[in-house]
């Protein structure tokens, strides 16, 4: 498996992976699939120090991840949010772990102090993934989102970069 920066030619695969979860999961609060214009802007917005990366296996994009601004207020400038998505049929192969590990290395390199994960609906696999990389749950927003005709909690997980050995 190779982890590298996302390229324009990766956009269709990135979109396909994400839009699957839009339609079938509460791991994203988007309710409608995103089109090409969204993804072009997404890629242009994700450059240093907020990278977008992809996992490539046998020439195929099997997952993607990003660091994004946590909040636009200046005082939050040293904190970022991670997003990690893996092709449904590739779960359990270590792709998410490799992507998240790479993101935390980028966070350190770019001078970020905190990586925040917002994990909707207490997704066990995502919580386990983040815990394996040293994140800890620091809070929960109860019934903050509404999707698929039900209210959804969002657990807040934090990794302080200085805590990574």
Q: What is the pLDDT along the chain (165 residues), one digit of tens a residue?
A: 999 999 999 999 999 999 999 999 999 999 999 999 999 999 999 999 999 999 999 999 999 999 999 999 999 999 999 999 999 999 999 999 999 999 999 999 999 999 999 999 989 999 999 999 999 999 999 999 999 999 999 999 999 999 887
Which pLDDT score is estimated for 60?
A: 97
For the chain, how many structural domains are there in total? 1
CATH number at residue 130: 3.40.630.30
Contact status, residue 136 vs residue 129, Cβ threshold 8 Å: no
pLDDT of residue 65: 98
- Give dist(CA 150, CA 122) in Å, integer: 14
Measured at the alpha carbon of residue 140, what is the angle toward residues 142 and 84, in degrees to the nearest 5? 110
Q: What is the structure's pLDDT at 165?
A: 74
pLDDT at position 94 is: 97
pLDDT of residue 18: 98
What does the pLDDT read at residue 106? 97
Instruction: Give me the domain span that covers residue 12.
Output: 2-163
Q: How many CB atoms lie within 10 A of CB 108?
A: 14
């Amino acid at each position: 498996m190779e982890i590298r920066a996302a390229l324009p030619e990766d956009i269709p695969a990135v979109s396909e992976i994400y839009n699957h979860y839009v339609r079938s999961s509460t791991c994203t609060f988007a309710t409608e699939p995103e089109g090409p214009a969204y993804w072009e802007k997404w890629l242009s917005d994700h450059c240093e120090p907020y990278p977008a990366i992809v996992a490539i296996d046998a020439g195929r994009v099997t997952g993607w991840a990003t660091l994004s601004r946590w909040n636009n207020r200046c005082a939050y400038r040293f904190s970022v949010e991670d997003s990690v998505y893996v092709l449904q049929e590739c779960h359990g192969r270590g792709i998410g772990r490799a992507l998240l590990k790479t993101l935390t290395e980028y966070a350190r390199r770019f001078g970020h102090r905190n990586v925040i994960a917002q994990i909707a609906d207490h997704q066990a696999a995502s919580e386990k993934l983040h815990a394996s990389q040293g994140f800890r749950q620091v809070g929960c927003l109860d019934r903050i989102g509404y999707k698929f005709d039900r209210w959804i909690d969002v657990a807040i997980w934090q990794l302080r970069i200085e805590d990574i050995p």
